[in-house]
Amino acid sequence: MINSSFFSGYLRISNLSSMRIWWVNQNQTYRHEVGGGYLRSPKTNKDGRRNRFYDSMTEAALGDIVFSFSDTQIKAVGVVTGACMSAPKPPEFGSTGSKWSDEGWYLPVRFTELQWPVRPKDHMDLIRPTLPDKYAPLQANGNGLQGVYLAPVPPEMAAAIYGLLGGQVEEIARSTVPDANPMNDVQALLADPGAQVTAKLAAGQRPVRARSVPVASGID
């Protein structure tokens, strides 16, 4: 059983029952998307079939949290600031995604780059037990998964990452959504007692000095 009181110092974002946590892999597009304040994906695979990780763009909602994974690290955290919409590929992408359809999904996200990024591969003893059986954003060894773009993060995995980031997520959420209130019941997040996340997470705690990234007004 997870000791929920351990996480109460980390997980204090309001209304977690409706807020979702996401993981985005951004090796090719990190600079454009984090700096520009958005996520952008195709709508379907090249063969026209639906893709679960592209469909996620339409499921993300205002106030959701996004972990940005690039170059083996969680380097930024974002807060969704609007609804997903259909839009052409941003010109700053250049040849990146040249095989994608020009029309895709665009999701506005305000990102903050982390003062202390975390390399999941160094903490897989904590993260591995929380990985979902389906649509996992990472391999069991901590390497990224090719073909995964925006993936939902289950509550136990979110709790592990929050702890490793040492309060940075909370600070970012509060600076982006000033009226966010402390969570009263962490058990709502940790509904599954099977995840073996331990007090070792405390080793990731550090003071918070996050650097905000300006948000562009659009994709042009």
Q: What is the pLDDT of residue 145?
A: 85
Q: What is the pLDDT of residue 217?
A: 31
pLDDT at 57: 96
Phi–psi pair at 171, nearest 5 degrees:
-60, -40
Q: Counting every residue, how long is the chain?
A: 220
Q: Which CATH architecture has domain 4-212?
A: Roll (3.10)
Quick: pLDDT tens for 31-84: 999 999 999 999 998 888 889 999 999 999 999 999 999 999 999 999 999 999
The predicted pLDDT at position 175 comes to 82
Domain residue ranges of the chain, discontinuous segments joined by +: 4-212
pLDDT of res. 214: 37
- The residue behind tokens 């609007």 is 82
pLDDT the model gives residue 85: 95
pLDDT at 10: 38
**What is the rounded distance in angstroms from the CA atom of residue 95 to the CA atom of residue 102?**
12
Amino acid 95: pLDDT: 62
- pLDDT computed for residue 213 by the predictor: 38
* Beta carbons of 191 and 158 less than 8 angstroms apart: no
Q: How high is the pLDDT of residue 200?
A: 32
Q: In the chain, which stretches have pLDDT less than 50? A: 1-17, 179-220
- Work out the number of other CB atoms within 10 angstroms of the CB of residue 139: 16
Instruction: Give the pLDDT score at 3.
Output: 33
Is the Cβ–Cβ distance between 113 and 213 less than 8 Å?
yes
Q: Which residues, listed in sequence order, are joined to residue 152 by a DSSP beta bridge? A: 22
Q: Confirm if 145 and 139 have CB atoms less than 8 A apart.
A: yes
pLDDT of 94:
61
Q: Report the greatest alpha carbon distance in the chain.
A: 49
Q: What is the pLDDT of residue 176?
A: 77
